[in-house]
């Protein structure tokens, strides 16, 4: 029971439960449960999670209704508890989690848009980081994160001499995202432990 009492959030972005991504998620739920963890899954497609960062993310009046600045408004809304309920719910899940696993297929060398939208909207200033309060001082620094992804290409294609180039370069911005907020992650390229699987689906 290595994980006894530990809380895990799986942010899962695949349309098909019977996919390889779906199986990886299911195996993680089963195995982590066996180890005594409690697990929450955010199944983004099933939730029809909103990826667009818009004025709707702020309830009530805007700080500056004349010129809309998403970053400014969301930061202010976070401080006065005026973010939309779907963002608040995801932030609560992240806050409670000891470990967050991102489970997704690589779309155009990055996360699918639905997961990018989760990152854009949930990991807002004030909640996940502040200035100061980022990289090694990010607000999620007590937590761990894993990028668990599948690819359409082979491992060879993503090697230094492969046609797509070194896979680590694709992971850099993703690690930047997690590294800004998560545990001891430092700058991009130094953060998290990606689990890369050369299979599609």
How many residues does the structure list for the chain? 201
Phi, psi of 145 (to 5 degrees): -135, 145
Minimum CB separation from a second copy for residue 96, in Å? 22
Minimum CB separation from a second copy for residue 99, in Å? 20
Spatial distance between the Cα atoms of 4 and 46, rounded to a whole number of angstroms = 28
Structure tokens at 198: 């050369």
Q: Which is nearer to a second copy, 7 or 125 (CB)?
A: 125
Q: Which is nearer to a second copy, 31 or 200 (CB)?
A: 200
Q: Which is nearer to a second copy, 22 or 40 (CB)?
A: 22
Query: Interface with a second copy by CB under 8 A: which residues?
Result: 15-16, 18-19, 45, 48-49, 51-55, 66-71, 107-114, 116-117, 119-121, 123, 135, 152, 163-165, 169-170, 172-173, 176-177, 180, 187-189, 200-201
Q: Which is nearer to a second copy, 26 or 120 (CB)?
A: 120
Q: What is the 3-state secondary structure (H, E, C) of 43-93?
A: ECCCCCCCCCCCHHHECCCCCCCCCCCHHHHHHHHHHCCCECHHHHHHHHH
């Amino acid at each position: 029971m290595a994980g006894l009492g530990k809380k895990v959030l799986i942010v899962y972005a695949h349309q098909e439960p019977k996919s390889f991504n779906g199986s990886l998620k299911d195996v993680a739920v089963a195995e982590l449960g066996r180890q005594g963890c409690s697990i929450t899954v955010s199944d983004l497609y099933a939730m029809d999670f909103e990826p667009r960062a818009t004025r709707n993310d702020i309830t009530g009046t805007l700080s500056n209704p004349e010129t809309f600045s998403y970053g400014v408004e969301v930061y202010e809304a976070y401080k006065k508890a005026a973010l939309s309920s779907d963002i608040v719910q995801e932030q609560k899940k992240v806050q409670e989690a000891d470990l967050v696993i991102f489970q997704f297929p690589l779309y155009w060398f990055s996360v699918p848009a639905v997961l990018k939208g989760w990152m854009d909207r949930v990991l807002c200033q004030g909640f996940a980081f502040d200035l100061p309060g980022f990289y090694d001082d990010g607000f999620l620094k007590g937590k761990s994160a894993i990028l668990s992804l599948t690819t359409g290409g082979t491992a060879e294609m993503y090697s230094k001499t492969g046609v797509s180039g070194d896979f680590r370069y694709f992971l850099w911005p993703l690690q930047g995202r997690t590294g800004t907020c998560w545990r001891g992650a430092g700058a991009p390229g130094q953060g998290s432990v990606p689990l890369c699987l050369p299979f599609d689906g």
